């Protein structure tokens, strides 16, 4: 059996990753799992299992009574780093209806639920036009409804990126009407009627290409044990953590982390974290960038 991982084809390596995923999270794997997930034959599934044993002989043993391979006591991942975020992302995708059950690598789903997120009315045609404009470096004429104007208005924008603020999808674009880079909510683009070559360079969007580091710590008025729990929640080391964010997305990051208001405005148990550095002070007076279009 060839145990040189560098010579593996992509499809084979993906199946070996699947075997390892199942062993780590479920504790067992068998041929039928591979056959159902990848639509392969019995012989191919057996070959993949034997190939995996060749790479990691201590990672699984065959349980004759259960008729399945089980995780070995000396299991060490070879093909993927066990990642709780990846596992939970699959659960969230399933809960949101983004991922179909048969596409998930999780065999026995635990009971799960997610706080509902309002469905954002992004039209597929709109997204296709925006992504196409980004790829071709074009400007598009959009009918956009801003909250600063009672009626929608046609305007030319030159999009160069897509961004997610934690709740809504935007395109980062140069507005030819206001002659500056802004965020445009995809759901507020009512129509797109034309496109043309753009002379605007995305490299000129300094806020998009620069980063800000937010240094956070538990709220100082929390008890010692409460502070330790918050430190664990946010993966802090030495009682603090650093979060990098594009300057263009700083408003959304501060809002989502609850750092857009003074720490004293809420109870320590509600505020939970505070910002240690003052890098955001110049942005404290920023309003929602998607709501400040002067139409």
Measured over the CA atoms of residue 255, residue 258, residue 261 and residue 266, the dihedral's sign is: positive
In this predicted structure, what is the pLDDT of residue 120?
Answer: 65
Q: Furthest-apart CA pair in the chain: how many Å?
A: 72
SS3 content of the chain, % helix, strand, coil (to 5): 35, 25, 40
Least confident of 19-33, 111-125, 168-182: 111-125
pLDDT surpasses 70 at 66: yes
Q: 80: Cβ–Cβ under 8 A, 6 or more apart, which residues?
A: 17, 20, 21
Q: What is the mean pLDDT of residues 248-264?
A: 91
| Contact call for residues 139 and 254 (beta carbons, < 8 A) | no
* SS3 call for 190: strand
* SS3 call for 11: helix
| 240: DSSP letter | B
Q: What is the mean pLDDT of residues 97-114?
A: 87
Domain ranges of the chain: 5-82, 124-205, 210-283
In this predicted structure, what is the pLDDT of residue 118?
Answer: 67
pLDDT surpasses 70 at 280: no
Give the confidence band of 195 by pLDDT, cuts at 50, 70, 90: very high
In this predicted structure, what is the pLDDT of residue 289?
Answer: 60
Distance of CA 31 to the CA centre of its chain: 32
Q: State what percent of residues in the chain have pLDDT above 70.
A: 91
| Contact call for residues 290 and 163 (beta carbons, < 8 A) | no
Q: What is the mean pLDDT of residues 252-277?
A: 91
Rounded to whole angstroms, the Cα distance separating 25 from 181 reads 45
Q: What is the pTM of this model?
A: 0.74
pLDDT surpasses 70 at 36: yes
Q: Return phi, psi of residue 189, to 5°.
A: -85, 105
pLDDT surpasses 60 at 3: no
pLDDT surpasses 70 at 101: yes
In this predicted structure, what is the pLDDT of residue 121?
Answer: 80
Least confident of 3-12, 88-97, 187-196, 260-269: 3-12
| Contact call for residues 235 and 272 (beta carbons, < 8 A) | no
Give the count of beta carbons closer than 10 Å to the beta carbon of residue 243: 15
Q: For residue range 142-185, what is the model confidence (pLDDT) as tens digits?
A: 999 998 888 999 999 999 999 999 889 999 999 999 999 999 99
Average pLDDT value for the chain: 89
Give the confidence band of 95 by pLDDT, cuts at 50, 70, 90: confident
Measured over the CA atoms of residue 70, residue 75, residue 79 and residue 84, the dihedral's sign is: positive
Q: Which fold has domain 5-82?
A: Arc Repressor Mutant, subunit A (1.10.10)
Q: Which fold has domain 124-205?
A: SH3 type barrels. (2.30.30)
Q: 248: Cβ–Cβ under 8 A, 6 or more apart, which residues?
A: 163, 172, 181, 183, 205, 207, 208
């Amino acid at each position: 059996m060839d145990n040189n991982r560098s010579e593996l084809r992509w499809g084979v390596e993906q199946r070996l990753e699947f075997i390892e995923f199942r062993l780590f999270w479920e504790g067992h794997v068998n041929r039928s799992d591979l056959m159902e997930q990848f639509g392969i034959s019995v012989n191919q599934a057996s070959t993949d299992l034997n190939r995996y044993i060749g790479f990691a002989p201590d990672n699984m043993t065959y349980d004759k009574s259960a008729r399945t391979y089980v995780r070995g006591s000396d299991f060490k991942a070879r093909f993927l780093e066990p990642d709780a975020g990846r596992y939970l992302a699959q659960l969230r995708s399933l809960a949101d209806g983004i991922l179909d059950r048969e596409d998930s690598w999780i065999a026995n789903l635990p009971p799960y639920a997610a706080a509902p997120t309002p469905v954002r009315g992004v039209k597929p045609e709109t997204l296709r036009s925006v992504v196409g404009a980004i790829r071709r470096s074009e400007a598009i004429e959009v009918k956009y409804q801003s909250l600063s104007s009672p009626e929608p208005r046609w305007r030319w924008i030159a999009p160069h990126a897509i961004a997610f603020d934690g709740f809504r999808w935007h395109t980062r674009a140069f507005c030819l009407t206001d002659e500056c880079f802004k965020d445009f909510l995809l759901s507020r683009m009512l129509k797109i009627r034309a496109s043309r070559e753009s002379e605007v360079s995305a490299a000129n969007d300094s806020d998009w290409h620069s980063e800000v580091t937010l240094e956070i710590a538990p709220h100082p008025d929390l008890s010692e044990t409460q502070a330790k729990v918050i430190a664990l929640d946010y993966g802090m080391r030495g009682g603090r953590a650093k979060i990098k964010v594009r300057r263009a997305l700083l408003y959304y990051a501060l809002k989502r982390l609850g750092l857009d208001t003074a720490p004293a405005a809420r109870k320590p148990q509600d505020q939970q974290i505070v910002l240690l550095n003052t890098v955001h002070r110049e942005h404290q007076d920023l309003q929602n960038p998607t709501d400040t279009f002067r139409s």
